[in-house]
Structure 1
Amino acid sequence: MKAYFLSLLQFLIQQSFVIGLPSSRTISPSSTAPKPNPSLNKRHCDCYLVNGPDPGYFQRYEFYDFRYVPLEKYHDQAHSISNHTILPHPTPSSSPSKDIEDGLNPIDQLDNTTRLLFGEDAVELAHTPFARFWKPQYWRRPISAIAPIEMKNSIHNVFFVRDPERLHGPNSTFLVLRTTRRKDYVSAAEIESTIQNLYHSSVRIRLRIFAAEPVPEDEEHYPAGNITLSDKILPPRGACAGIFTYNSAICESDIEILTADPPNHIHYANQPDYDPITDESIPGASVVAHITAPWTSWASHRIDWLPWVSRWYQNDELLHATRYSIPDKLSMLVVNLWSDGGVWTGDLKVGENVFLGIEWIEIAYNISSKGLHGGGPVGKPDQRHTHLHSVAQTREMSVRSGVRIGGDGGDGEEKSCRRPCWVDDFHQ
C-alpha cells in the first residue's frame, strides 16, 4: 500500500503544471532578490516531501547555492558594505572577539592567510547577499576546565573562494569555514541561520573537509597555493565540524565530524547525549556511523527532524534513526568548525589549519510561533558536549515504515497537500 501511495504521489506531481512557486526560493548569489528554484518551478507546490521511510510534510523550501558566486563583483563592492547590515549583535551569553583583525570596523579586509591560501579574489561571506540569511559569528569561549584553549570566532574565517578543481566550470566557487591554531587561542568559524523559528525540517548540505600546509606566524615567506583538495590527504587532527539544529544544549540535533577520526566515521546525536550524574553517555542518544564516502570528499549530508523521529543520511543512504529526545522547540540551523584543545576535539598544532568546504545548503522546513512551541534559540551553541562514546562504537537501527503527511504542529498543521513536490539530491 505504501509503495502504491508513493508511486501515485510521484505520478500526480509529474502531471501537474502550474506556474508560480510561492513557498520555494533559491538564494541567488548574483542578485539580492531570490528566485524560485528552476528544478521545481514547473509546478505549484502545496508542500515539500523528502525521500526515505517517511516523506515528511514541509511548507517552505530554501536552496542556498554557493557554486557560482561572482567573486569579482563582491570583491569590488566590499568597501561599500556597511558593517551594521551584516553583523549580528552579541547576546548576553557571548562577547565580541578580539580575534577578528578589525572585523568590527565598517570595512572588513581579507587577512593575509586567506590571500596566501586562496588568492586575492576570495570574498568574505559578510560582503555578499548570503549574509542576510547566514550570519558569520564573532563571539568567543573562554578557557575552562574541559577546554584548555580559548576559542574565538572570526568573521574572516567564513569566505567564498574559487574552486581549484573547477568542478562546475571555470568560475565555480564554494563557501569555506576555517579554523586555525594560534599561539594562545584557536580562531574558529560559525554561521547561524537568520531563520530562528524552525519547527521540523529536512536539512541537506554538500561538504568536504580539507587541509593546507601550516601557516607560520611570519606569513611573509609563506608559499601561496598550498590548498590540498585530495581526499587521500587527511587534515590535521584536532578540529570538529558541526551541522545542527539548535535551540539549547538539551534541544539539539547534530552531525559532527572529528578530524581525529578515520575519514569514514561520523557522529550523529540528539542532545542531551551525556548524563552528568552517572558521567556516562546516554544509551541511544548518539552513534558513530560508518559512511561510504569519506568526509574528505564531496558528499551530501542530511538531517531529517520529524515530529516522531530523527534521521541521518549521507548521499541519500539512511545511516541512523532515533526516537530519543526529538527536538520540540523553535530552532535555528548552525554550521561551525572549531577546536578548544579539549578531550572531544583534541588540539591542533600552532599554525595548522582545517577547512570546511560547502557547495550548497538545502532546507525543506516548517516554522511556528513562539507561543505554540516555546521561545527561540537560547544563547549560543555550547560546542562543549562531554562525549564519551568511542570511535569504534556502532548501533543497530530499526526504522518503522509508513507514510505520514501533515500534523507536525508547525505552519503546515491542518493544511492540505494536493500538489506535493519531492526534494531529492538533484544538485550534484
Structure 2
Amino acid sequence: MIASQTHLRAAVLTILSSLAPQAAAATPNCHCYLTDGSSPEYFANHKFFDFRNIANPQVPPPIDDRDGSTNAPVANAYFDSTNFTDTWSIQSWVDAGAVYNTYSKNDVYIESNTDANPASSTYLTLRTYRHPAGDFQSSAEIQSISPNYQYLSMRMYSRTLGAAGAVAAMFTYRGGATDADVQEADLEILTSDPSNLVHYTNQPSTVDGITRPNATHEITIPGPWTSWRTHRYDWTPGTSSWYVDGELVNANSFQAPADPATILFNAWSDGGSWSGAMAEGQSAQMQIQWIEIIYNNTAEPSQYGHCANVCSFDSGTEPGVPLLVSSGP
C-alpha cells in the first residue's frame, strides 16, 4: 500500500473514532464528505433520492403496442418534478435484439410497499415485461442528464424480483469510438442466476471477440438480492469497489474507469445470450427505496481549502443524513 493511502486510512479511523453521539442532532453544514471502506476518499457533492413516501403510487398496466410503449408518458407526477428532472431522464429508445426491446416510461413507476412489515410506504420500480401481444419486450432505464460524474460512491437500497430472463443493473458509462474505448463499471443481477450471485465488471469485457477475463468477477454475496439490501459502488482513482450491506465483496483495478461518465439504473431483457429469454406474459422488477450519490473531487481537506467541515454518510443511522465528523476553524 502506498504511503498516501496509509495516511488516509489512518486519518479516517482517527476521525470516525472521535464521533460524539450528539453530533447527529442537527443537519450540519458540510463542506465535503468522507466515505469509509477499503478506499476511503473525500468527495465534494451529495445527492439523495428518497422514493419511500411518494404520492399516488400506481402500477401501470403494460402497453401491448410497440409504439405506444415507446412513446408512453411518465407514470407518476413525481417524474416531472425538478427533484427528479434536475438529475435524471427516463429513457425511451429501441434495441432490436433477439427480441425487439423498447425502453418505456410506462415501466418506471412508484409502487406501494405491501411487505408484511414495510420499511417504507412506496418505492421506485423499474420493470421489464415480455409482451404476449406484439412480440416484444419493454424495459426501464433512468440515466443522469449530466455526463460529468468523475469518482463517486453510489448506493441504492433495493431488491430484484421476478421471472428469469432479465438483467437489473446499476452502473456508470462513458461511450467511445470503439468498444475498446468504452469506460463502464457495472453491477448486474441476472434473474436466471442463483439469488446470491452478482456480476461486477469494469467494461469492456470483450473486444473484437476476445474475452478479457480480468474485467468481470462473479461474486457470491452475503444474502439474496431478492431481499432489501444496500448495494454500493465506489469509484476511486484506479479502482472499482463494490459492497453489499457495508461489506466489501469485490474490488477490481483492471481497466477501472478514469474519465467523467453518466450514471444509469435499468431493468431489461432482449432475449439474447446475456439476459436470456423471458416467457411471454412474465416480468421482473428492480425495486428501489432510495438512491444516494456522493461524488467528485477526491482529495484530502488540506489539499483544497474549502473543506473545513467534513461529514460522513457511513457513520450516521439514517440514509441520506450526514454526520459531522471533523470541523475546521
Q: TM-score, normalised by structure 2?
A: 0.81
Residue of 194, 198, 201 corresponding to 1:262: 194
2:52 paired residue number: 67
1:147-187 CA-partner distances (Å, limit 9, x unpaired)? 31111001010011110125236xx1100011100241110
Give 1:99 deviation, angstroms: 4.0
1:326 paired residue number: 256
Rounded Cα–Cα distance in structure 1 between residues aligned with 2:98 and 2:25: 48
2:163 paired residue number: 236
Rounded Cα–Cα distance in structure 1 between residues aligned with 2:123 and 2:110: 6
1:226-285 CA-partner distances (Å, limit 9, x unpaired)? xxxxxxxxx211000111011126211100000010001000000111132xx3421311
1:103 paired residue number: 72
Rounded Cα–Cα distance in structure 1 between residues aligned with 2:155 and 2:105: 23
Give 1:328 deviation, angstroms: 1.6
Q: Does 1:247 align with 2:174?
A: yes
2:79 paired residue number: 126
Give 1:98 deviation, angstroms: 1.6
1:346-376 CA-partner distances (Å, limit 9, x unpaired)? 0001111111100000110017xxxxxxxxx
Give 1:9 deviation, angstroms: 1.6
1:415 paired residue number: 304
1:152 paired residue number: 102
1:307-353 CA-partner distances (Å, limit 9, x unpaired)? 12110111111011111112122111100010011100100011111
Contact 1:124 1:156 in 2 (8 A): no
**1:131 is aligned with what amino acid?**
T
Larger RCO: 1 or 2 (CA < 8 Å, sep 6+): 2
Rounded Cα–Cα distance in structure 1 between residues aligned with 2:168 and 2:302: 34
Rounded Cα–Cα distance in structure 2 between residues aligned with 1:343 and 1:270: 19
After TM superposition, list the pairs within 5 Å mapping 1:261-300 onto structure 2: 261-276=193-208, 279-300=209-230
Residue of 23, 28, 31 corresponding to 1:43: 28
Give the ranges of 4+ consecutive aligned residues of structure 1 lying more than 6 Å apart after TM superposition. Answer: none
Gaps in structure 1 of 5+ consecutive residues: 18-38, 76-96, 111-122, 211-234, 368-404
2:138 paired residue number: 187
After TM superposition, list the pairs within 5 Å mapping 1:336-351 onto structure 2: 336-351=266-281
SS in 2 for 1:406: coil
Contact 1:195 1:332 in 2 (8 A): yes
Rounded Cα–Cα distance in structure 1 between residues aligned with 2:122 and 2:48: 16
Give 1:5 deviation, angstroms: 2.8
SS in 1 for 2:163: coil
Rounded Cα–Cα distance in structure 2 between residues aligned with 1:305 and 1:423: 16
**2:127 is aligned with what amino acid?**
R
Q: 1:52 to 1:150 in 2, by over 3 A?
A: same
Please tell me the root mean square deviation across aligned C-alpha atoms, in Å.
2.7
Q: TM-score, normalised by structure 1?
A: 0.63
Aligned residue pair count:
295
Contact 2:70 2:103 in 1 (8 A): no
**2:41 is aligned with what amino acid?**
G
2:299 paired residue number: 406
1:385-405 CA-partner distances (Å, limit 9, x unpaired)? xxxxxxxxxxxxxxxxxxxx6
Task: Report which of the two has the higher share of strand.
Answer: 2
1:45-77 CA-partner distances (Å, limit 9, x unpaired)? 2211111122112000111111111227xx8xx
1:186-230 CA-partner distances (Å, limit 9, x unpaired)? 1000001123210100000111012xxxxxxxxxxxxxxxxxxxx
SS in 2 for 1:284: helix
1:139 paired residue number: 93
Rounded Cα–Cα distance in structure 2 between residues aligned with 1:205 and 1:346: 25
**1:174 is aligned with what amino acid?**
Y
**1:325 is aligned with what amino acid?**
Q
**1:252 is aligned with what amino acid?**
E
Contact 1:193 1:332 in 2 (8 A): yes
Gaps in structure 2 of 5+ consecutive residues: 1-5, 59-65, 320-329
**2:304 is aligned with what amino acid?**
K
Between 1:322-331 and 1:4-13, the stretch displaced more is 4-13
Give 1:44 deviation, angstroms: 2.6
Q: Does 1:173 align with 2:88?
A: no
Between 1:131-140 and 1:346-355, the stretch displaced more is 131-140
Rounded Cα–Cα distance in structure 2 between residues aligned with 1:258 and 1:158: 19
